[in-house]
Amino acid sequence: MITKFKDKVAETLETPLMSEGITSLQVNLGYSCNMACKHCHVGAGPGRSEEMNKDTIDIVLDSVRKYDIRTLDITGGAPELNPHFIYLVKEAKKTGCHIIARSNLTIFFEKGFERIPEFYQENNIEITASLPYYLDSGVDRVRGAGTFHRSIEALKLLNSLGYGNGSGGRRLNLVYNPSGIFLAPAQDCLEEEYRRELTSRYGIVFSRLFVFSNMPVGRFRTHLEKTGALERYLKTLEDSFNPSTLDGLMCRHLVSVGWDGALYDCDFNQALDLHIEAPYPSHIRDFDRELLGRREIRLGDHCYGCTAGQGST
């Protein structure tokens, strides 16, 4: 048995975990994806039909304008698959907010999406892309055959457009996550290794590497349950609890908008359908930056995933 995360936080902070104000809005455009990765916490894939409609996107845009949101973080599934993706980016851009797109990279090679890299470049979109390792072994096993090779080609293409080389401010971040039931390494050490290996092997450059642990949510949780490893993994996460990560937790600085407009503390709570509860707004149509910026965060034992080691945020 592990200590409830809520109790661990109370013991550490002596208060509940509270938002510290909203600097960023994370918008999930739906669960449709051209891939079906084994670790995906929202269980995205080609068979998923949930997607944010244009009415909801317009309400998101209204909130961005009304509350002068400075960062819009767009995710999915593959967010590019949403038919209103281009519209959202163009309209949000007019407000002057900074836009981050979480891309799986392989979408660039799907029919009808070949222009996406140039679209990102033209609109100066920051790209945060999955690349779970700098060698092909492991990546294709977790993300599907041919993924690693296509990802490398996509990164070369983005580099040729000025991404990741420090010029023009076009930021290209990569995301590592473990390809199995073990914790993530230290971010700084692995970033150095990614930089060295990707440059020497493929001539690829990038801005930052983010190292995330696998959350015991979605497909990864199913795998843990199937293999009888759930309890041990949760215990490992608890044993690696690092109190210094609590200050920077993403849930304290953003609100996550689900494809149907429901509001969550983060994308993981969204995957578990743990929406923000009364007295705080629970839908984007009722968005209130000030009120949501002093809400109590809804916690679960999966939250240990964000506080293990150096943290995942």
Partner 1 sequence: MTEYYKAEDLDRFGEMGKGNPELFRKFMDWYTGALRPGVLNKREKVLIGLAVAHAIQCPYCIDAYTKSCLEEGMNLEHITEAVHVASAVRGGASLIHGIQAHNAIDKLSL
Using CB under 8 A as the criterion, which residues of the chain lie in contact with partner 1 when the complex forms?
133, 135, 137-138, 176, 178-180, 182-185, 189-190, 193
Least distance CB 301 / partner 1 (angstroms): 20
Which sign, positive or negative, has the C-alpha torsion 303, 307, 309, 313? positive
- Return the number of the residue (109 or 133) whose C-beta is nearest partner 1: 133
Which residue do the tokens 């550490």 mark? 12
Tally of residues, the chain: 313
Parallel, antiparallel, or unpaired: how do β-strands 263-264 and 254-257 relate? antiparallel
- Return the number of the residue (119 or 210) whose C-beta is nearest partner 1: 210
- Return the number of the residue (15 or 137) whose C-beta is nearest partner 1: 137
What does DSSP assign to residue 258? -
- In terms of DSSP H, where are the helices of the chain? 5-13, 54-66, 85-94, 116-122, 139-143, 147-160, 187-202, 218-226, 230-239, 267-271, 289-292, 304-307
- Return the number of the residue (183 or 292) whose C-beta is nearest partner 1: 183
Buried b (16+ CB within 10 A) or exposed e, 207-224: bebbbbbbbbbbbbbebb
Least distance CB 185 / partner 1 (angstroms): 4
Least distance CB 100 / partner 1 (angstroms): 24
Least distance CB 184 / partner 1 (angstroms): 7
Q: How far apart are CA 198 and CA 124, in angstroms?
A: 23
- Return the number of the residue (31 or 212) whose C-beta is nearest partner 1: 212
Least distance CB 291 / partner 1 (angstroms): 40
What does DSSP assign to residue 309? T
Q: How far apart are CA 27 and CA 283, in angstroms?
A: 12
- Return the number of the residue (109 or 202) whose C-beta is nearest partner 1: 202
DSSP string, 188-216: HHHHHHHHHHHHHHH----SEEEE-PPPS
Q: How far apart are CA 169 and CA 125, in angstroms?
A: 10
Least distance CB 228 / partner 1 (angstroms): 11
- Return the number of the residue (149 or 182) whose C-beta is nearest partner 1: 182
Least distance CB 60 / partner 1 (angstroms): 37
* Cis check: omega of the bond before 279, within 30 degrees of 0: yes
